Structure 1
Amino acid sequence: MHGSRMVVAGLLVPVLCPAAARADIIGVGGSAMLIPRPADAQLGVLTSNTTAFAWNEAQGVTLAAPMTIDAAAPGMYGSALSFVFDTIGAGSVVSSHFIHFDTVGGSFQTVEGSVTFDADILGVIAWNRQEARHLDESDAAFGLGTIFSTEVARRGVFDVGDGTQGGEDWFTISPDQRTLAFHLQVSTPFDEIRVLTVPEPAGLAALSLLGFAAFRRRRPAATNVSADR
C-alpha cells in the first residue's frame, strides 16, 4: 500500500492509498500446512505422507473468460455426484488458493485438515477427468508460474473408478463460506483442490481527525479559610 502525507491544521496526517484486491489463507488445521507458493508441484516433487500443503496463488485476477467451478454452496461433497458444475463470469475479480497432497513413493495415506480464508469462497475446482479437465484449464489463470502435472486423469479428488462411489475423499464448505475442510486418501496420483475467493479491495484507510481540544482556563482552587472565633 502506497502512502502520502498531508497537512491539516498544522498536523502531519498520513493518507493511505488503496492496494490491490487480495484474499489470504488466515488459518490451517489438522494435517494442513501453509507454505509459500512452490515453484514445482508436479507429481512426486512436493510430497509428504502426513501433510497436505496449502498456499496462496494469484490475487485479484480479472477473468478474461468464464471459469468452470465444481462446487460453490456450503455443504459436504463426497463424490462426483455432489458436484454442481457452474461458471464464474468473465470480468469477475477473484483470488486463488491451492491444496496439494502427494505421498512419498505413491504410498497409500490419508490426511484430514482445514483451510480458512479472510474472504468468502466463491467456488472450488477439484475435478480433472479426460472429459472435463477443470484443474488443468484453471492453471494458466491462477498458477503464477508453479509447474503442475497436467493431463493427469485423477489429479483432483474422487479418483476411484468414475468418481461416483465416494468414501475415499470428501470436502466441506462451511456455512459462512470461509473454511474448506477435507479428508483425502491418496496412493497414486495425488489429490489437489483449487479454491477461488472473492477478494476485498483495500479501501482508503479511515482518516479520523479529532477536533482540537479547546484550551480553557482553569480557575485556581479556592483556598479554605477558617473563620476566627
Structure 2
Amino acid sequence: MTFEQAIVGIIYKQSELDDTDEMFGAVGTVYSGGGSGRIFELDGSNNFFTLSPDAKTLSFSTVVAHNMDDMRILVASPVPVPGAAWFMASALLGLVGFKRRQ
C-alpha cells in the first residue's frame, strides 16, 4: 500500500487497536473491541510488514488461520495550504500587535 503522505505509525496489537478505535477508527464502524484475535501476528515467516525508506509504502504478508489480522496505519497530515499558513501568520502578528498596545 502506498500513501501520498509519510506513514507515522502502525498499530497492530489488539489492546492498542481497541484503545484507538474511537480516535482513529472509521466513523460509523463498529469494531470488535475487547475480544480476542484482533492482532497482526508478526512471526517473521508468514506474517510480516516492511516500511519503505521514504515511509510512504507499506508491504505486508499475512496468513490467517483463525480470527483475523488487523492493523491501523496512521499517515502524516497534509501540509496546510498557503492560505491557511497566511491566516495563521496574520493571527500571530495581530496578537503581537495587541500585546504591544497593552
Same fold (TM over 0.5): yes
Deviations 1:9-67 (A, max 9, x none): xxxxxxxxxxxxxxxxxxxxxxxxxxxxxxxxxxxxxxxxxxxxxxxxxxxxxxxxxxx
* Aligned counterpart, 2:50: 172
For 1:152 and 1:167, how far apart are their aligned partners in 2?
A: 25
Among 15, 25, 30, the residue aligned to 1:147 = 30
* Higher share of residues assigned strand: 1
Larger radius of gyration: 1
Structure-to-structure mapping, 1:46-65, within 5 angstroms: none
* Aligned counterpart, 2:69: 191
Deviations 1:51-94 (A, max 9, x none): xxxxxxxxxxxxxxxxxxxxxxxxxxxxxxxxxxxxxxxxxxxx
* Aligned counterpart, 1:136: 18
* Higher share of residues assigned helix: 2
For 2:34 and 2:44, how far apart are their aligned partners in 1?
A: 22
Structure-to-structure mapping, 1:1-229, within 5 angstroms: 115-128=1-14, 133-143=15-25, 144-158=27-41, 165-204=43-82
Q: TM-score, normalised by structure 1?
A: 0.34
Q: Give the deviation of 1:201 after TM superposition.
A: 3.2
Question: 1:191 is paired with a residue of what secondary structure?
Answer: coil
What fraction of aligned residue pairs are identical, expressed as a percent? 33
For 1:168 and 1:149, how far apart are their aligned partners in 2?
A: 24
Question: 1:137 is paired with a residue of what secondary structure?
Answer: helix
Where do 4+ consecutive residues of structure 1 move more than 2 Å? 165-168
Letter of the 1:135 counterpart: L
For 1:174 and 1:156, how far apart are their aligned partners in 2?
A: 22
Letter of the 2:8 counterpart: L
* Aligned counterpart, 1:209: none
Letter of the 2:18 counterpart: D
- State how many pairs are aligned: 82
Deviations 1:99-136 (A, max 9, x none): xxxxxxxxxxxxxxxx11111111100011xxxx0100
Q: Give the deviation of 1:147 after TM superposition.
A: 1.1
Question: 1:138 is paired with a residue of what secondary structure?
Answer: helix
Question: 1:171 is paired with a residue of what secondary structure?
Answer: strand
Gap regions ≥5 residues in structure 2: 84-102
Higher relative contact order (CA 8 A, sep 6+): 2
